[in-house]
Structure 1
Amino acid sequence: MPTIEASTDLPGDVATVLAVSLDLDVERAAGRRHRVRPVPAGPGSRTSGRIGAGERVRWSLRLHGLVPLRHTTEILEVDEATPGGGARFVDAMVSGAFAAFRHEHLFDPLPPSPTGAPRTRSTDRMTWTSPLGPLGRVADAVLVRRTLEGLLADRNAEIARRLSA
């Protein structure tokens, strides 16, 4: 099962970074390149604001401006920040192009900056299984990993921008 793990150091305490990371409007802004946007998907789904445990979001996107995709995820767990501790949330695909997809978001406090400002390390761990067996594994190597890494980098850059504003 392919895995991407990436860490980003962000300004702000764990609770603030978690709150910004759960905001669907961040995804919409970060996903402009692939026209990522949440679309209505019935009861229990959200299209804006902070998403929580048990809620779903259906994403519409257009990979490389050409390939339209729909991908529905559910927030499986949200572990809020504890004083001096970390936080996390996990989302997984309910329906979409992958055979399986899971994204774990971890937030750990870092020592304060030289000015005393709080900092948090955000670690993303994505695992997925592409459909179509050997053909899917070729797609993973040629296209899927690079696309997911780009989407993740765009998302983390948008979170950093919002926290720095």
Structure 2
Amino acid sequence: MPKFILNTKIYATADVCFNLARSINLHLDTMKHTGEKAIAGITTGLIGLNETVTWKARHFGVTMKLTSRITACEIPVLFTDEMVAGPFKMMKHKHVFEQKKGYTLMTDEFIYESPLGLLGKLADMLFLRKYMQNLIEHRNRVIKQKAEAAVEDTIN
């Protein structure tokens, strides 16, 4: 199963980073290039424990739906979302927020299993793992920008 871990240093509090990371609205902003929409469950605002959201987006020229549930949530330390229906055999995304002196370390642990056996494993090696990592890196850059801008606004 492919897995990657990303660390992002953000000069803002863990609460701000945590809430931005679980914001449906921010997620939609970061995924405009895929035409992503929240079509069921929690479709705006902040998602919480045991809540679900169904996303509809276009990836690789194909429209897909994915439903995820928040299976763990400890404000503002961590939350985990897991796919309950969608294109993967399994997908789990753990978000951890560590308040450090002057910044928050946001860690994403992303693990998934592709469908289609050997063909899925080949897709992982050729492009899918990197594609998923790029999506989350892009999202993290936006979270960092928004969080640090919010800090700037409170200073000025």
Normalised to the residue count of structure 2, the TM-score between the two structures is 0.91
Secondary structure at the residue paired with 2:135?
Answer: helix
Q: CA deviation at 1:164?
A: 2.2
Match of 1:103 in 2: 93
5+ residue gaps in structure 1? 82-86, 113-118
- Residue of structure 2 aligned with 1:58, choices 54, 57, 73: 54
Match of 1:67 in 2: 62
Which amino acid in the other structure matches residue 61 of structure 1? A
CA RMSD of aligned residues (A): 1.0
Distance 2:11 2:45 in 1: 21
Q: CA deviation at 1:37?
A: 2.0
Match of 1:49 in 2: 45
Distance 2:98 2:140 in 1: 15
Q: CA deviation at 1:63?
A: 1.1
Distance 2:59 2:127 in 1: 10
Match of 1:84 in 2: none
Tell me if the contact between 1:27 and 1:37 (Cα under 8 Å) persists in the aligned partners.
no
The alignment status of 1:146 with 2:130, answered yes or no, reads yes
Tell me if the contact between 1:99 and 1:128 (Cα under 8 Å) persists in the aligned partners.
yes
Match of 2:144 in 1: 160
Q: CA deviation at 1:157?
A: 1.3
Secondary structure at the residue paired with 1:61?
Answer: strand
Which amino acid in the other structure matches residue 12 of structure 2? G
5+ residue gaps in structure 2? 150-156
Distance 2:32 2:138 in 1: 9
Distance 1:33 1:90 in 2: 24
Secondary structure at the residue paired with 1:163?
Answer: helix
Residues matched between the structures, number: 149
Match of 1:131 in 2: 115
Percent identical across equivalent pairs? 27
Cα deviation 1:32-59 (Å, max 9, x = unaligned): 121222112xxxx111100000100001
- Aligned ranges 1:10-21 → 2 under 5 Å: 10-21=10-21
After TM superposition, the runs of 4+ consecutive aligned structure 1 residues lying more than 3 A away are none
Tell me if the contact between 1:90 and 1:104 (Cα under 8 Å) persists in the aligned partners.
yes
Match of 2:36 in 1: 36
